[in-house]
Amino acid sequence: MRSLRLVRAGLALTLLVVAACETAPLTGRSQLIIVPEQQELAMGLQAYQDVLKKSRLSRDAAASEQVSRVGLRIAAATGRTDYRWEFHLIEDKQVNAFCLPGGKVAVYTGILPVTRDDAGLAAVLGHEVSHAIARHGAERMSQGLLVETGLAATQVALARNDPGMVRNVTALLGAGASVGLLLPWSRTQESEADHLGLIYMAKAGYPPSAARDLWVRMKAMSGGQRQPEFLSTHPAPETRIQQIEAWMPEAMRYYTPR
**Catalytic sites, residue numbers:** 128
| Residues whose CB is less than 8 angstroms from the CB of residue 35 and which lie 6 or more positions away in sequence, other chains included | 138, 141, 142
Q: Pseudo-torsion of CA 43, 44, 45, 49, nearest 10°?
A: 100
227 vs 60, 177, 214, 222, CA distance in Å? Answer: 35, 18, 20, 11
Report whether 135 contacts 99 (CB < 8 A).
Answer: no
Give yes or no for a contact between 99 and 137, defined as CB atoms under 8 angstroms apart: no
What is the rounded CA–CA span in Å between residue 157 and residue 140?
Answer: 26
Burial of 258 (0-12, 13-18, 19+ CB in 10 A): exposed
- Report the b/e string of 223-240 with b at 16+ CB within 10 A: eeeeeeeeeeebbbbebb
